[in-house]
Amino acid sequence: MKIAVLYGGVSKEREVSISTSKGIMQALTNNGHDVIGIDFHPKKLEEIIQLDVDLVFIGLHGKFGEDGSIQAMLDMLEIPYVGSGVLASALAMDKYKAKQLFQLNQIPAPKGQLYYISKDSDFDRLAAKINETFTAPFVVKPNREGSTVGLSIVKDAADTKEALKKAYESDNYILIEEYIDGMELTVPILGNKGEEQALPIIEIIPKNEIYDYESKYSEGGSEHIIPARISDALTKQIQRYAVLAHRVLGCETYSRVDFLLKDGKYPYILEVNTLPGMTPTSLFPDSAKAANMSYDEMVERLVQLTLKK
């Protein structure tokens, strides 16, 4: 088939997207497809409008790529694409709205509150309000951002203002969450609606204090243990939560669901990634490999699942 891969974009995850898409394009080529790479930019939409392909593989992350924007455009152009549609993408990108849906469906999630910041906001006043509501340590992060960009763990109330400023660089909406000290886990999901399956759970041991941007994308930045060192009963419970979260948001074809495991027995969902990273150090390909799927086979499986929708 003739397949276009959209990569790059204008978000803060541009470099990750480029790395992800290099792998996808090589796999598609290895699988015999005719591949076109497009460095996506919202000011060059004619490149998308003029596309004459059988399928689009979205290798974008963050704003305009993962939030439903490009999905809406492709829907209007009636060009099929790999991954979730407009609503699921937008919901997953909005961490607070996703959290509300998880809680409505009895999927445990950290308690949190959303705050709006504008250029006229009084950061001192807002920081004081947050410090009255939350007890350190707590998490401050942009509501609509990925790869832990702009995230801080506030251990001292005096640091709240700076954490807010850091998050505000990425989003006007700031999410404050209780801090869960626990094991980092992630669950890749694969399959069309009603047939979704959870791949092996990955336990993540970051080299840094938190699983931040460097830990995710630097060689040796984290250790991945597959399957995670948890009981079979807990494995099944977390995989069940992951599939449910995928379905609750209306995700399609694939996603990756992140959790924290407190005290070795209490799982808390963090977020659903509708376009998980596919770089050489990424989690989804590692889990697929543990399920006896090579990188090329995994990419082809995503293509074939999309065609069957």
Among all residues, which ones are annotated catalytic? 13, 147, 217, 256, 258, 271, 273, 277
pTM to 2 decimal places = 0.92
pLDDT tens, position by position, 119-171: 899 999 999 999 999 999 999 999 988 757 889 999 999 999 999 999 999 89
Domains of the chain: 2-82 (3.40.50.20), 91-109+181-308 (3.30.470.20), 112-178 (3.30.1490.20)
Tell me the backbone φ, ψ of residue 221, rounded to 5 degrees.
Answer: -70, -20
pLDDT tens, position by position, 56-82: 999 999 889 999 999 999 999 999 999
pLDDT of residue 209: 65
**Mean per-residue pLDDT, 21-49:** 96
**Mean per-residue pLDDT, 186-195:** 97
pLDDT tens, position by position, 222-270: 899 999 999 999 999 999 999 999 999 999 999 999 999 999 999 999 9
pLDDT of residue 206: 83
In this prediction, residue 12 has a pLDDT band, given cuts at 50, 70 and 90, of: confident
